[in-house]
């Protein structure tokens, strides 16, 4: 949607326009969640949703939405080569929300466009109903809304977009949580993985699935290759502490950045951890290791000048107590800790807790 915002503002100043957005995908998909297309009353098309395979159906839905002043949700799956139904040739599935917008939406769109232009994080929530209700949220303006404001804030701080809430929400203190699409306009949270082994590969895949911008960094070029880490956004060959220092100095990290050191080698571990722990522009710092390794590494960190307050920030041994052994299981353990830490949650089984699940 970011690329069609200027055109959306211009057309809303003149009259109604239909906004079609990808709200969910499964498997291979031609466009990412949040991709948008505009269709004006006179048939002008701006943007793209699929590169051609579903646009004709969306144009028809847009005309109907503008005529009936009612939103439509379309679902597209695998195209049948022998049928006439429109589908995706790539084999995935895609859900599209088609909304009729009018002058009443203009101020919200202008606010979003201004925030995007200024580089300020902002989120747009739209209930998935025949008459969608919009709600705009920023890190400094997170008013209670439909018992979904905490979910929206979480997506906003991590730069993710997606569907929250439920289809059939009950009314009441905790029941009003309608199915809602939240589109964020903010950088994704960073997950920087130090090392180039099987555990890093598993966590890179899971971290990417959870919406992080994943960077793998290792000084050994033979291990740090794109082929070994296909799901990482970046694979960097450099000394980890040097890379971290450069990213911090260039303000490319912030409190949403997570650094996980997974090399099991003190010549990499200690300098990287010292750099990460010494910066207030890194939110989470963790390191793999046995109890013996952790004790030895902590002593080395103190010798290297890490203060007691800095060392208290270190999450090591890294991960929650799940009984994990394989790289995939360890990745789940670490990812669970990252989620729990972000929400200041206990990581306990929900059956042992009382009260609402969504606090």
Tens-level pLDDT at each residue, the chain (359 residues): 888 999 999 999 999 999 999 999 887 666 789 999 999 998 899 998 876 668 888 999 999 999 999 999 999 875 544 433 444 544 578 899 999 999 999 999 999 999 998 889 999 999 999 999 999 999 888 789 999 999 999 999 888 899 999 865 544 445 589 999 999 998 888 999 999 999 999 999 999 988 899 999 999 999 999 999 999 999 999 999 999 999 999 999 999 999 999 998 999 999 999 999 999 999 999 999 999 999 999 999 999 999 999 999 999 999 999 999 999 999 999 999 999 998 888 999 989 888 777 65
Distance CA 24, CA 77 (A): 12
HSE-up of 254 (CA within 13 Å, CB side)?
10
| Integer angstrom CA distances of residue 191 from 125, 242, 292 | 25, 17, 26
| Integer angstrom CA distances of residue 303 from 115, 248, 289, 298 | 45, 23, 19, 9
Distance CA 131, CA 2 (A): 23
Nearest CA to 136 out of 125, 145, 144 is that of 125
Task: Write out pLDDT tens, residues 245-269.
Answer: 999 999 999 999 999 999 989 999 9
| Integer angstrom CA distances of residue 241 from 99, 217, 238, 255, 274 | 48, 10, 9, 18, 8
Residue 72 DSSP symbol: E
| CATH class held by domain 190-343 | alpha beta
> Domain-by-domain residue ranges, the chain?
1-118, 120-186, 190-343
Predicted pLDDT of residue 155: 92
| Integer angstrom CA distances of residue 118 from 20, 76, 112 | 25, 35, 10
Point out which residues pair with 36 in neighbouring strands. 21
Is residue 22 classed as helix, strand or coil in its secondary structure? strand
């Amino acid at each position: 949607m970011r690329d069609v915002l200027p055109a959306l503002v211009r057309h809303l100043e003149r009259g109604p326009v239909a906004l079609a957005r990808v709200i969910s995908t499964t498997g291979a998909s031609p466009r990412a969640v949040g991709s948008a297309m505009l269709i004006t009353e006179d048939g002008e098309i701006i943007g793209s949703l699929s590169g051609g395979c579903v646009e004709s159906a969306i144009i028809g839905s847009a005309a109907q939405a503008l005529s009936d002043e009612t939103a439509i949700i379309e679902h597209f799956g695998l195209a049948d080569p022998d049928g006439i139904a429109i589908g995706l040739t790539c084999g995935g599935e895609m859900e599209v929300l088609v909304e009729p917008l009018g002058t009443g939406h203009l101020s919200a769109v202008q606010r979003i466009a201004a925030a995007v232009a200024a580089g300020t994080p902002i989120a747009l929530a739209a209930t998935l109903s025949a008459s969608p209700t919009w709600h705009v949220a920023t890190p400094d303006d997170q008013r209670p809304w439909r018992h979904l404001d905490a979910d929206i804030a979480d997506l906003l701080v991590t730069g993710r977009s997606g569907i929250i809430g439920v289809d059939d929400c009950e009314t009441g203190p905790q029941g009003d949580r309608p199915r809602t699409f939240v589109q964020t306009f903010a950088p994704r949270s960073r997950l920087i993985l130090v090392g180039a082994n099987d555990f890093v590969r598993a966590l890179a895949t899971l971290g990417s699935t959870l919406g992080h911008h994943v960077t793998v960094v290792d000084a050994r070029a033979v291990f740090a290759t794109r082929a070994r880490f296909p799901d990482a956004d970046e694979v960097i060959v450099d000394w980890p502490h040097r890379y971290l220092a450069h990213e911090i100095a260039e303000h490319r990290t912030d409190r949403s950045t997570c650094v996980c050191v997974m090399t099991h080698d003190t010549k990499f571990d200690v300098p990287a951890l010292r750099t990460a722990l010494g910066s207030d522009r890194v939110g989470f710092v963790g390191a793999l290791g046995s109890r013996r390794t952790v004790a030895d590494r902590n002593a080395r960190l103190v010798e290297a000048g890490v203060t007691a307050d800095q060392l208290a920030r270190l999450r090591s041994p890294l991960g929650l107590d799940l009984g994990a052994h394989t790289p995939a299981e360890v990745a789940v353990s670490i990812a669970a800790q990252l989620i729990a830490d972000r929400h200041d949650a206990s990581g306990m089984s929900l059956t042992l807790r009382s009260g609402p699940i969504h606090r």
